[in-house]
Amino acid sequence: MQPIGLYLKLGFEHISDFAGFDHMLFLVALTAVYRLSEWRRILILVTAFTVGHSVTLAWVSLSDASIPSQFIEFLIPTTILLTAVHNVLREPPDGGSRGMGQHYAMALFFGLIHGMGFSNYFRALLMGSDSVVVPLLGFNVGIEAGQIVVVAAIVALSFVFQNLVGVKHREWNLFVSGAAFGTSLMLMAQAKFW
Amino acid sequence: MAATAHPLRLSLSEIEYRAEQSLLTISLRLFLTDVNEALVFDPNSAALAFCQPNESPNAVPLLLSYLYDYFYVKANGERVDLRIKSKTLSGEGANQALVLLIESEQAPPLRSLEIHNTVFTDLFFDQSNIVYLDVDGELKSFMLNKETPALRFSY
């Protein structure tokens, strides 16, 4: 197996099992408040998050930039908490793409933060090795592929609760965002760096 | 990764054989928090202080003793002596890796190679150990873990 395939598999498995639950929780908070009919918005949100992820990946792997890992580990659950709060306070407007700019910008910015965790980790492991870029690229592509699976599962679950069980959209939003808020608060307490 | 939220458990070993130089080189990269967890049961312990001026005299013997059980390379059926030529630290904070360089004389021909790498699988169920193998320029890469602890090659 060539290294890129090996790292791609690693990234996919990491994100699509519950070991990577903070990343998964972010995707839940980001996408669960949308209806299946809003798939275009979901696609743009996930793409924005992916772009953010990839920018950090390129930046950290091609420069000497270093951000303290304790800080990043605290920031990651913070992004989940802020997304949950944002869902409740600024619920996405109905229909179309109007009023979604803030949501997309947030997904992009938070993608930058999530990408830092992996980049720092891989750089420590692979520094001085032949290439950091190829393994990081493979891992990132694997992560993105895993994200598609996770988001599809979230949207399906959301559809079941809202369309088959009959849970109202606002109640579903509060339920999902509340769960994400509580869990991320605990993660922030565990990762506090001061 | 030290964070409780997003554990990603990896190590990397690069194994290179050059018949012309009769040399087998092993570079082993292990996260320091994992090493501390395995040796002194505390990921953030400063007791062993690898690569620091106050490095404990027990640090290397403890590490070699651990590696004896969990990491070995057999060339032509003989276990390669893990004599550390150099050790350095890479990265920072919770993402700091300990890089060990091991060199061993190995006269050609290389007829068989066995790589056993289960480092930290005793601690973490999801530990994956990446192996890059380069035998006279022929490159291969593998992932070892609890289910697949070893690789065997014949030449």
Note the pLDDT tens digit of each residue in A31-60.
988 888 888 888 899 889 988 988 887 787
Confirm if B101 and B12 have CB atoms less than 8 A apart.
Answer: no
Strands B10-18, B84-90: pairing is unpaired
- The answer to whether A191 faces chain B, any CB pair under 8 Å, is yes
**Closest residue to A191, CB basis, from B5, B14, B132:** B5
Instruction: Provide ipTM, 2 decimals.
Output: 0.78
Please, which residues 73-102 of chain B have a Cβ atom closer than 8 Å to chain A?
Answer: 90-97, 99
A188 touches chain B (CB under 8 A): no
What burial letters (b/e) apply to A133-161, b meaning 16+ CB within 10 Å?
eebbbbbbbbbbebbeebbeebbeebeeb
Give pLDDT tens digits for B63-93. Answer: 999 999 999 999 999 999 999 999 999 877 7
- pLDDT for A92 equals 67
pLDDT at B21: 95
> Quick one: tokens of B125?
């169920």
Please count the other Cβ atoms lying within 10 Å of the Cβ belonging to residue A1: 12
pLDDT at residue A190 above 90? no
Q: Where are the alpha helices (DSSP H) in chain B?
A: 32-40, 59-70
pLDDT tier at A139, thresholds 50, 70, 90? confident
Q: With an 8 Å Cβ cutoff, are B96 and A124 in contact?
A: yes
- Cα–Cα nearest to A121, from A48, A68, A175: A68
**pLDDT one-digit tens code per residue, B98-153:** 999 999 999 999 999 999 999 999 999 889 999 999 999 999 999 999 999 999 99
* Number of Cβ atoms within 10 Å of the Cβ of A7: 27
For residue A77, the distance in angstroms to the closest alpha carbon of chain B comes to 8
Task: Give the model's pLDDT for residue B147.
Answer: 92
Q: What is the dihedral of CA A179, A185, A191, B3, to 10 degrees?
A: 0
Average pLDDT, integer, range A113-118:
82
- For chain B, the C-alpha Rg in angstroms (whole number) is 16
Closest CA to B17 of B129, B137, B116: B137
CA–chain centroid gap for B85, Å, is: 13
Q: How far apart are CA B84 and CA B25, in angstroms?
A: 10
Q: Measured between CA atoms, how close is A8 to chain B, in angstroms? A: 12
CA B29 to chain centre: 6
B50 in contact with A, Cβ within 8 Å: no
Cα(B13)–Cα(B17) distance, integer angstroms? 13
With cut-offs at 50, 70 and 90, classify the pLDDT of residue A97: low
- Residue window 51-70, chain B: list those with CB within 8 Å of chain A: none
Is residue B19's pLDDT more than 80? yes
The closest alpha carbon to A154, from A61, A50, A46, belongs to: A46
| CA atoms within 13 Å, Cβ hemisphere of A90 | 11
pLDDT score, position B79: 95
Give the pLDDT score at A33. Answer: 85
Cβ–Cβ gap A117/B6 under 8 Å: yes
In chain A, residues with a C-beta closer than 8 Å to the C-beta of B11 are 125
CA distance A134 to chain B (A): 13
List, in sequence order, every residue forming a beta bridge with B28; answer none if it has no partner: B13, B100
pLDDT for position B60: 96
Contact A191, A85 (CB under 8 A): no
Sign of the torsion formed by the C-alpha atoms of A8, A11, A16 and A17 = positive
Question: pLDDT category, A63, cuts 50, 70, 90?
Answer: confident
Of B5, B90, B143, the CB nearest to A73: B5
Q: What is the DSSP string of B97-111?
A: EEEEEEEEE-PSP--
Give the model's pLDDT for residue B2.
37
Amino acid identity, position B76: N
Please tell me the predicted confidence (pLDDT) of residue B3: 40
H/E segment holding residue B153: strand B150-154
Give the chain B residue nearest A9 (alpha carbons). B143
Question: Does the CB of B123 have a partner CB in chain A at under 8 Å?
Answer: no
- Give per-residue burial for B100-118: e unless 16+ CB within 10 Å, then b: bebbbebeeebeebbbbbb
Dmax over CA atoms of chain A, in Å, equals 56
Question: Residue A2: its pLDDT value, please?
Answer: 59
pLDDT of A65 > 60? The answer is yes
What distance in Å separates the CA atoms of residue A111 and residue A79, rounded to the nearest whole number?
A: 9
* Token pair for A25: 């929780």
